[in-house]
Structure 1
Amino acid sequence: MKGFDVVIIGGGLSGSSTALNLSKKGYSVLVIEKEKNQAYKPCAGGMASSMQKFLPLDIKDSIESKIKNVEFRWKASDNVIADLTGESPFWIIKREKLDQLLLDESIRNGVQIISGLLVEKIRKKNDNWEVTCNNKNKYISKFLVIADGSQSKWAGYFNLGPRKPKFANTISLRLKGLGEIPRDAVRFEFGFIKYGFAWAFPLKESLNIGLGTFINNGHLENQAINNQVIRSFGFDDFSYKTINKKLRIWNGMHPINGEKILAVGDAASLCDPFLAEGIRPSLISSFYAAECIDHCLSGRLDDLNLYTKKINNDWGKSMAWGRRIAQVFYRFPRTGYQLGVKRKTAPKRIAQILSGEMSYEDIAKRVIRRLLTNSRI
């Protein structure tokens, strides 16, 4: 039985970045990941370049595209294009590369990583955590981080996040080539997907495509509609393989820490409920998780409650408005597109949200008022 300062359940983006941030501070860390390896990560890969400040390493090797334009369309027409300002404010990264960079750097800093192992039992013992895995090995830690993603078993078990999580249903795939998507642009396609939208994000030699529905438990089972979306991005080959996934989206401000335990990333229900952005909240929550654990281990804090307050303030306030926009926009999508996306200033505002320059709170009240007023006409 080996002891650590911190055990992290889950070795994805939020788990590996938390591990790296903690190891840079000199703590002993164990990461337990259930998957042995994953050749393809079902993630669009969009990331505000400003998020680099939350990572203690250079991630340039994982950047596939630097985005200059954001395209919006309604059923493959009615185009709107927004220019992103600044020096490469939005990147497309390859999640497989980014996750591996983080894990490799974590290992160089002394983090121990065990893959292909399931956590079967977690209990508190003598003010420490005892984690038992399916190989019957037990691991002891002072603090515990839950980072096992949208399908988290342990977040609910320890009452971290909403008692009844809300999920977006998504389909992800990657096609060779870029179709008709420019290398320096991302596209959002509205109108095909009920209660949601489709997106196309370019890598160097392939395209990450996603479809998502965000309210009313919508379904994505209609293959004809899926093929329409693929065709709208410039592809005629429909022999692709898809990955269906439920994304645990933000659904209110709830405690995401307990006594010597906290949740990060998707396990903490932080995914954007309007645009499905998950990388930014993963990196933000991982950074502040490491900060708060460091403060506790060094005697500057008695508990982790500051972590929940920080995430609710820095991320939750914006997401509260993002959820309201989503609930109205996806119920009245055509009206939303005409009065929201097609307004003169709207594309720029959405682009600024993607790049991290603005929050939903900055624009939400006016958008919702317009949508509600015109939907009753």
Structure 2
Amino acid sequence: MKEFDIIIIGGGLSGSSTALNLSKKGYSVLIIEKEASGNIKPCAGGMASSMKKYLPLDIDESIESKIRNVEFRWESSDNVVADLSGESPFWIIRREKLDRLLLDEAIKYGGEILRPVQVEKITQQNKTWIIKCNNKVTYKSKFLVIADGSQSRWAGYFNLGPRKPKFANTIALRLKGLGNIPKDSVRFEFGFVKYGFAWAFPLKDSVNIGLGTFINNKLLENKDLNNKVIKSFGFEDLSFKVVHKKLRIWNGLNKLNGDRVIAVGDAASLCDPFLAEGIRPSLMSSYFAAESIDECLSSNNNDLNNYSTNINNEWGKSMAWGKRIAQIFYRFPRTGYQLGVKRKTAPQRIAQILSGQMNYEDIAMRVIKRLLTKSKD
């Protein structure tokens, strides 16, 4: 039986970044990951450059594009463009590169990873976690981090996050070439996807394209609709493979820690309920999780409550307003586009939210009031 200070279930972005933050502090860390390595991850890849403060390493190798403006369109027309202020405030990263960088750096500092290995049973004895896996080996740790993504088996088991998680349904793909997407722009396409939107985020020589819906998850089964969206981004070759994924989006202020256990990233239901942003909360939660566990280990106590408090303060309060905006916007999307995007200052505000310069609370009251008033007309 091997023993570690921390065991992390899940080796994606949040799991790898948590492992790096902790292994760099000198703790023994084991990641248990169920998937084999090398998978392409065609998630949007958008990341506010301000998030580098949560990363203890240089990630330049994973940055594919530096975005200067954000485009909004309604069914391929009615264009609105917002310029991003400051020097490269928004990046497009290649997720598989970023995940590998984080993992390699964690291993350099002594972290270990098992893959592909499935966790089968978790118990606690005398303040120690006992993890049994399908490789017939048992592992022990003082603290446990749940980082197994939106389809987390263990977040609910430990009552971490919302009792009834809310999901957005998405499809994602990566196409060679840039289509009609400028190399320094991201595009949000509204109108085609009912109760949701589509997006195109450019890498160096390809584009990450996605469609997401927040209300009716069956809408993305319409192949003709999906092809229409892909064509709107300037692509004619429709012989692509898509990745289907359910995103566990933010659904209320909830406790994200228990006795010696913490949930991070998608497993903690932190994805933005309006724009489906997941990288920023993954990195933020990984950082605060490592800080909280470090404080416990260094002071010999078990109180992880400051983790939930920090996440709710730094992220959850803004998402509470983002959820309210989303509930109205996606039920009345055309009105939402006219009042929430086409207003003179609106696109710039959305761009500032993406780059981390503003949060939803800064704009919510005015936006909600306008949307409610217009929807009743």
Q: TM-score, normalised by structure 2?
A: 0.99
Which stretches of structure 1, 4 residues or longer, exceed 3 Å deviation after superposition?
none
Question: Counterpart in 2 of 1:105?
Answer: 105
1:17-28 counterparts in 2 under 5 A? Answer: 17-28=17-28
TM-superposed CA distance for 1:38, in Å, is: 3.5
| Contact 2:193 2:219 (8 Å CA) reproduced | no
Cα distance in 1, alignment partners of residues 204 and 248 from structure 2: 29
Question: Counterpart in 1 of 2:32?
Answer: 32
Cα distance per residue 1:276-296 (max 9 Å; x no partner): 000000000000000000000
Question: Counterpart in 1 of 2:185?
Answer: 185
Question: Counterpart in 2 of 1:285?
Answer: 285
TM-superposed CA distance for 1:341, in Å, is: 0.1
| Contact 1:177 1:205 (8 Å CA) reproduced | yes
Query: Could you say what secondary structure the match of 2:325 adopts?
Result: helix
Question: Counterpart in 1 of 2:250?
Answer: 250
Percent identity of paired positions between Structure 1 and Structure 2? 75
Question: Counterpart in 2 of 1:346?
Answer: 346
Query: Could you say what secondary structure the match of 1:220 adopts?
Result: helix
Query: Could you say what secondary structure the match of 2:96 adopts?
Result: helix
TM-superposed CA distance for 1:167, in Å, is: 0.3
Q: Which blocks of at least 5 consecutive residues in structure 1 are unaligned?
A: none
- What letter corresponds to residue 34 of structure 2 in structure 1? K
Query: Could you say what secondary structure the match of 2:319 adopts?
Result: helix
- What letter corresponds to residue 324 of structure 1 in structure 2? R
- What letter corresponds to residue 326 of structure 1 in structure 2? A
Question: Counterpart in 2 of 1:358?
Answer: 358
Cα distance in 1, alignment partners of residues 302 and 365 from structure 2: 38
Question: Counterpart in 2 of 1:308?
Answer: 308
Q: Does structure 1 residue 3 correspond to structure 2 residue 16?
A: no
Query: Could you say what secondary structure the match of 1:350 adopts?
Result: helix
Q: Does structure 1 residue 63 correspond to structure 2 residue 63?
A: yes
Cα distance in 1, alignment partners of residues 144 and 66 from structure 2: 36
Cα distance in 2, alignment partners of residues 255 and 290 from structure 1: 17
Question: Counterpart in 1 of 2:116?
Answer: 116
Q: Does structure 1 residue 324 correspond to structure 2 residue 309?
A: no
Cα distance per residue 1:197-223 (max 9 Å; x no partner): 000000000000000001244531111
| Contact 1:194 1:218 (8 Å CA) reproduced | no
Q: TM-score, normalised by structure 1?
A: 0.99
TM-superposed CA distance for 1:42, in Å, is: 3.2
Cα distance in 2, alignment partners of residues 220 and 273 from structure 1: 18
TM-superposed CA distance for 1:135, in Å, is: 1.1
| Contact 1:215 1:327 (8 Å CA) reproduced | no
Question: Counterpart in 2 of 1:196?
Answer: 196
Cα distance in 1, alignment partners of residues 325 and 339 from structure 2: 13
Q: Which blocks of at least 5 consecutive residues in structure 2 are unaligned?
A: none
TM-superposed CA distance for 1:301, in Å, is: 5.2
| Contact 1:45 1:92 (8 Å CA) reproduced | yes
1:137-176 counterparts in 2 under 5 A? Answer: 137-176=137-176
